Chain A
Amino acid sequence: MAPALSTEKTGTAVVPQDAPAAVRLHHVHKSFGRPGAAQPVLDDITLDVRPGEFVCLLGASGCGKSTLLNLVAGLDRPTAGTIEVPGGRPALMFQEHALFPWLTAGRNIELALRLRGVPRAERRPEAERLLDLVRLGGSYRKRVHELSGGMRQRVALARALAQDSQLLLMDEPFAALDAITRDVLHHELTRIWSETSLSVLFVTHNVREAVRLAQRVVLLSSRPGRVAREWEVDIPQPRRIEDAAVADLSVEITEELRGEIRRHGQH
């Protein structure tokens, strides 16, 4: 029913090879399973995130978004293609907060600082500063189970920031939160992003969230995952999720995403 997508290749923004990038994926393939019966999950992904850019990676569940982030984070290797992260090991935030329950909120952050090589005397003040940054000053001694879902994700964000990486990878970090908490965290994330020189690659299946946050939305197709289309979002920040401009672009992208999903029901 839906027309074949003509944007599949042309949608990819062409970035000159020598331009600086926070991360550069070059013809990346990923399949799982034995070499003979391998299941391709990602197919020929070429994508750059510019320094300081906020990119949302959008796609249906199971299209390979987490797989892609794991590759960029270095937790897994691509089957073919190259991934360059010039700024060193990226920070990664998961849908689950992944805080260590045997440490307090502050100590979770200090562990990241310690592993980064920050001297002992500087760790405590730096952890306090990061907690202040996510508006959790005074929660240093709190245990993970004493924090609400939104507070846990803010501590997780502070821990990710403690890595002092130029690139922050986020894998549906707010998907398990209620709408109001998520809204607040969108605001905090854009605030922190605009105050720093951080590049963000943010994965979500929520179109509105993508448009609310990103400077650029990249739509992945499913099975295999390819870059289907990209949109530059030039709505000025601070945006709100209920802004008309956000809603309009969301409608357009949702149509495209539905078309992508529909193609899989046709055979």
Chain B
Amino acid sequence: MASTDTTAKAKPDGHDLAGLEAGLDALDAVQVKRTPFTQVLLHKVLPPVSAVVLVLAVWKILVLAEVTDDYKLPDPSAVWHSLTELWVQGTLLDIVWTSVSRGLLGFAAALALGTPLGLLVARVRFVRAALGPILSGLQSLPSVAWVPAAVIWLGITDSAMYAVILLGAVPSIANGLVSGIDQVPPLYLRAGRTIGATGARGAWHILLPAALPGYLAGLKQGWAFSWRSLMAAELIASSPDLGLGLGQFLENSRTDSDMPGVLLGIFLILFVGIAIDLIVFSPLERRVLRTRGLATR
């Protein structure tokens, strides 16, 4: 013990410290490991699949127990039959695509409007005082409430659909960006200023990347709102002049008293909403959080 102390004292040079430093780095550095594929399967895929199987089983049991009339609660296989029928007719993809393309186009427009709006609200005090409360308020207004107004202004047209999407999604996207910017640690801004990132360069190099997680959360919510608003609009303002989308399909099934079709419509709307989130937003968000060491799982 004493001898190691003296040798350490006798060698205050760089070689000794370099070794010490390497040891410290190795001991203290965070180990980043990837979760193995089987783990992903077990913890991420199995639970939702079991949930779906459970729902189907309960459904089937209810049908077998004849709790209600067949036209109110059809057999799962009847819904499946509706699906295959649409597929054979070749209309399934058309219906889904009509709605998805509307939704994505509307979302892109909401993105193009919501982003500069959010920047303005976050950075210009007057604009924030004027528009901030309105934007937050609009988020709690169900955008289906805009459908009657949009129909009167624009008629039963594609423009009305897009108007409803915008009114639903723009506030979410702008608010997401505002809260993302508000939550940027002031330390990053100060560090940015000391290395010369001021003005527009500060916004581009520091503020926007730092606000990205909040912005992405806003985009995700914005998509959910877009999709919901669009379905409401298609459902209420359905007309043969517009292409057949999921909302119209649902409404047509209702007028035909076609319960398997109604359930299929609901499932398809749900499926598309989840799929876009899983394919686009979740990976984006996970990637951003993971590179920053913020991913919880």
List residues of chain A with CB under 8 Å of any chain B CB. Answer: 73, 75, 89-92, 94, 96, 98-103, 111-112, 115-116, 135, 143-151, 159, 162-163, 180-181, 184, 187-188, 191, 238, 240, 242
Contacts and interface: CB of A to CB of B under 8 A. Distances in A.
Contacts of A116: 195-196
B193 A148 contact: no
A261 to B, nearest CB: 28
Contact of A94 (B18, B29, B187, B212): B187
B284 to A, nearest CB: 13
A73 B9 CA distance: 38
A93 to B, nearest CB: 9
B288 to A, nearest CB: 8
Contact of B194 (A73, A150, A184, A242): A73
Contacts of A103: 209
A75 to B, nearest CB: 6
A107 to B, nearest CB: 11
Interface in B181-224: 187-188, 190-191, 193-197, 201, 205-206, 209-210, 212
28 contacts: A89-B196, A91-B194, A92-B191, A94-B187, A94-B190, A94-B191, A98-B191, A100-B191, A102-B292, A111-B205, A112-B195, A115-B195, A115-B205, A116-B196, A143-B291, A143-B293, A144-B293, A146-B29, A146-B30, A146-B293, A148-B28, A150-B24, A159-B195, A184-B21, A188-B17, A188-B21, A240-B12, A242-B9
Of the candidates B28, B190, B195, B210, the one having the most CB atoms from chain A within 10 angstroms of its own CB is B195
A75 B212 CA distance: 25
Interface string B280-297: 000000001001111000
B120 to A, nearest CB: 23
B210 A148 contact: no
Interface in B24-66: 24-25, 27-30, 32
Contacts of B30: 145-148
Nearest to B29: A148
Contacts of B188: 98, 100
B28 A102 contact: no
Given A75-B193, A94-B191, A238-B12, 11 more contacts: A98-B187, A100-B210, A146-B32, A148-B29, A163-B196, A181-B28, A184-B20, A188-B17, A188-B21, A191-B14, A240-B9
